[in-house]
Structure 1
Amino acid sequence: MLRSRISKRSTKTLRLFQLLVLGVIVSVLAKPLVATAYINISTHDRRYLEPVQVPQERVGIVFGAGLLQNGQPTPFLANRITAAAKLYHLDRVQKLLMTGDNSRTDYNEVRSMQEYAHNLGVPMQDITLDYAGFSTYESCYRAHKVFGVHQAIVITQNYHLPRTVYTCDRLGIKTVGLGTPDLELYGWRGMMPDLRREMLANVKALLEIHVTRPRPTFLGDFEGME
Structure 2
Amino acid sequence: MGRRGVLGVWLRRGLLAGAVALLVVLGLSHLVRVRYEDRIVPLSQAPEAPVALVFGAGLAPGGVPSAVLAQRLDTAVALWKAGRVKAVLVSGDNSDRFHDETRAMRRYLLERGLPEAAVLGDDSGLSTYDSCVRAFTVFQVRQALLVTQRFHLPRALFIANSVGMDAWGVAADEGRPSTRRYAVREMFSRVLALAMVVSGKAPAYPARRTETSGRPGP
- Give the alignment's TM-score, normalised by structure 1: 0.87
Shift of 1:209: 0.3
Instruction: Provide the secondary structure at the position in 1 that maps to 2:140.
Output: coil
Query: Given residue 197 of structure 1, which amino acid in structure 2 is its aligned partner?
Result: R
Match in the other structure for 1:219: 206
| Equivalent of 1:26 in 19, 25, 44 | 19
Deviations 1:145-166 (A, max 9, x none): 1100011110001000000001
1:112-158 superposed Cα distances (whole Å, 9 cap, x missing partner): 11111122222221000001000011111100111000111100010
Residues 175-209 of structure 1, C-alpha deviation per residue, up to 9 Å, x if partnerless? Answer: 11011228945744xx2xx2211111111101100
Quote the Cα distance in structure 1 between the aligned partners of 2:110 and 2:167.
Answer: 24
Alpha-carbon distance in 2 for matches of 1:85, 1:46: 20
- What CA distance in whole angstroms lies between the structure 1 residues aligned with 2:118 and 2:186? 31
Q: State the AA in 2 paired with 1:20.
A: R
1:197: which partner in 2? 185
Q: Tell me the residue number matched to 1:209.
A: 197
What stretches of structure 1 move > 4 A for 4+ residues in a row?
none
Alignment of 1:156-195 (within 5 A): 156-181=148-173, 184-185=176-177, 187-188=179-180, 191=181, 194-195=182-183
1:137–1:98 Cα change, 3 Å: same
Report the identity percentage. 31
**How big is the shift at 1:94?**
0.7
Classify the secondary structure of the residue corresponding to 1:85: helix
Structure 2 unaligned blocks of 5 or more: none
Of 114-123 and 137-146, more deviation after overlay is shown by 114-123
Q: CA RMSD in A?
A: 2.1
Q: How does 1:140-159 map to 2 (within 5 A)?
A: 140-159=132-151
8 Å contact kept, 1:32–1:202: no
The 10-residue stretch of structure 1 (28-37 or 51-60) with the greater mean CA deviation from structure 2: 28-37
For 2:96 and 2:8, the matched residues in 1 are separated by 53
**1:17-54 deviation per Cα after TM superposition (whole angstroms, max 9, x unaligned):** 23211122213322332122101221111011x21111
AA of the residue aligned to 1:22 = L
Of 53, 60, 85, the match for 1:61: 53
Change (3 A) 1:215 1:110: same
| Higher share of residues assigned helix | 1
Residues 1:16 and 2:25 are matched in the alignment: no
Q: What are structure 1's unaligned runs of at least 5 residues?
A: 1-5
Q: Does structure 2 retain, via aligned residues, the 8 Å contact 1:31–1:203?
A: no
